[in-house]
Structure 1
Amino acid sequence: MWLGFFLVSPSSVTAAFARRATLSRSFSLLSDFKYEQTDPDVFYGALARDSVELVGDLYLGATGRSLDDVVVLDVGGGPGYFADAFSGAGARYVPVEPDPSEMHAAGLSVGSSVRGSGLALPIRDGSVDVCFSSNVAEHVARPWDMAEEMLRVTRPGGIAILSYTLWWGPFGGHETGPWHYLGGEYAARRYRRITGHEPKNRFGVSLFDVGAKDGLRWARRTPNGELLAAFPRYHPRWAWWMVRVPALRELLVSNLVLVLRKP
């Protein structure tokens, strides 16, 4: 039975992270967002620290364990901005990235990096404690196939954490927003006309219309995982109720986190 945005008591899985989910944290992350294109070290550095806190708190809530010596697979890990942050928390961090140019875009070197597609992870079944994906699903034409792959490689008792940007939210169009509200193709054409070049995130090629309803439907129905929690990643705790309201969540949740336990 669906019980709002939690399938288990929030105190057992999300309590630690809920204490971090303050209005000041939301404002801080929002202020860092403006540096995504101009100074990615600033933006991704802050996002990395926040991601470690998110994953660590959720893993603690689900298993009672810290990230010390825990294998964390980051699907779509990009150039490795998260590596130092996860290693600093004691985790054994393994990023997976399909694009070699993206892997080396920041000039970072992560010895555990794996080249591979999220749709066919080159990882054996049940081999990682945490499978994490941050802001990747909206760039995948078949995001729920990727989500199933994440569950496949997660060990029984481990968790998969899927965090993705909602299309109808304020950041759904990425650099083409807010014109994506008038259509993804229109927004991409307008961006090209204004800037003289294609957007990095091209609608229908590397950016797709993915909603909260889609993710919740998959998470409730998959036989390969138990949905533990669903909440807005960047909102303060008192605004998490928005996930319960079908139309509102598509517009205002912005980024949805789905947490599933592998049976």
Structure 2
Amino acid sequence: MKVSDYITLYRLAKNRLRSEEDYKRFQRFQASLLLEYMQQFGIDVRGKVVLDLGSGLGGYSQEIARKGGAAVISLDLIKPSFPIEQGIYALIGDALSIPLRDESVDFIFCASLIEHVSNPLLLLSEIKRVLKIKQYCYLSFPPFYSLRGGHEFSPFHYLGERCALYLHCLLRRTPPDWVKKVYTPFLPPTSFANTYQGWGLFRLTIAKAIQMIREVGLEIVDISPRYLPINTARWPILGEFLTWHVQFLLRKTT
């Protein structure tokens, strides 16, 4: 990444919660960087069918369709709030039971979803099922013990769930109005697991993710932290705390 990319990323991250459109700009810029990352491994999604799992506001889907030139299936639990444009096909569904045929997609993009589902092993099994043989999946999440691993409960998640919930309510931390409108959070949350309707936050580490990926039989092509030059993601134990967001490039071999 160039210095200008880091500056742009910081500016967009700082403003991402101001509005839905600000958050989509943040997603689109990240998607452009991730397309460049995938090109390092010879992966070009142009003309391919890409599944964006847990697409949310759709910023990633938009950039993958526009810049990447892919046909994107944008799947989420909620009805998309973004206008459907050429190259994007919205699908309402559960990532734990993907409503697609076996071996029907060329690439799967799954960013910041796996830590929000109650059965991550099932999610990985579904990813393997719908992915074509010898094709790739991009998977990423903030490890639970990283500074941002507690999401809206950070940094209080280090103190345990009960304390984190108490301090979250005490400080009257509430999501912006546009987030409430789109995702309908439970206020106040009574557990990490029921933060939002239909999904929440579950403790997931890099080590646990590696174990489950191997269990379902996907090949790990790359493990690295997003946007950082030092690969802390491969450091045992310490990497769980220092890796702000881990990314995996996975391949289905059989």
Q: TM-score, normalised by structure 1?
A: 0.79
State the 1:75 CA deviation.
0.4
- Contact 1:79/1:108 (<8 A) preserved: no
Q: Confirm or deny that 1:203 pairs with 2:180.
A: no
Supply the distance in 2 between the matched residues of 1:159 and 1:246 (Cα, whole angstroms): 25
Match of 2:14 among 25, 30, 34: 34
Q: Confirm or deny that 1:230 pairs with 2:223.
A: yes
- Contact 1:201/1:207 (<8 A) preserved: no
Give the 3-state SS of the residue equivalent to 2:44 in structure 1: coil
Q: Confirm or deny that 1:94 pairs with 2:73.
A: yes
Match of 1:181 among 144, 149, 158: 158
Q: Confirm or deny that 1:108 pairs with 2:101.
A: no
Equivalence for 2:127: 150
Q: Is 67-76 or 83-92 further displaced after alignment?
A: 83-92
State the 1:65 CA deviation.
5.0
Supply the distance in 2 between the matched residues of 1:201 and 1:31 (Cα, whole angstroms): 33
- Contact 1:67/1:91 (<8 A) preserved: yes
Give the 3-state SS of the residue equivalent to 2:97 in structure 1: coil
Query: Where do 5+ consecutive residues of structure 2 fail to align?
Result: 175-186, 195-199
Q: Is 31-40 or 157-166 further displaced after alignment?
A: 31-40
Deviations 1:158-214 (CA, angstroms, capped at 9, x unpaired): 101111111111111112211111113321232223217636895122011111111
Residue type at the aligned position of 2:104: S
Greater RCO (CA < 8 Å, at least 6 residues apart): 1
Q: TM-score, normalised by structure 2?
A: 0.82
Residue type at the aligned position of 2:12: D
- Contact 2:147/2:241 (<8 A) preserved: yes
RMSD of aligned C-alpha atoms?
Answer: 2.4
In structure 2, the CA distance between the partners of 1:23 and 1:213, relative to structure 1 (3 Å rule), is farther
Equivalence for 1:123: 100
- Contact 2:45/2:107 (<8 A) preserved: no
Residue correspondences, number: 233
Identity %: 25
- 4+ residue segments displaced more than 3 Å: 22-28, 107-111, 199-202
Supply the distance in 1 between the matched residues of 2:118 and 2:168 (Cα, whole angstroms): 21
Match of 1:68 among 31, 40, 46: 46
Supply the distance in 2 between the matched residues of 1:165 and 1:215 (Cα, whole angstroms): 11
In structure 2, the CA distance between the partners of 1:52 and 1:24, relative to structure 1 (3 Å rule), is closer
Residue type at the aligned position of 2:252: K
Q: Is 206-215 or 80-89 further displaced after alignment?
A: 80-89
In structure 2, the CA distance between the partners of 1:201 and 1:211, relative to structure 1 (3 Å rule), is farther
Equivalence for 2:197: none
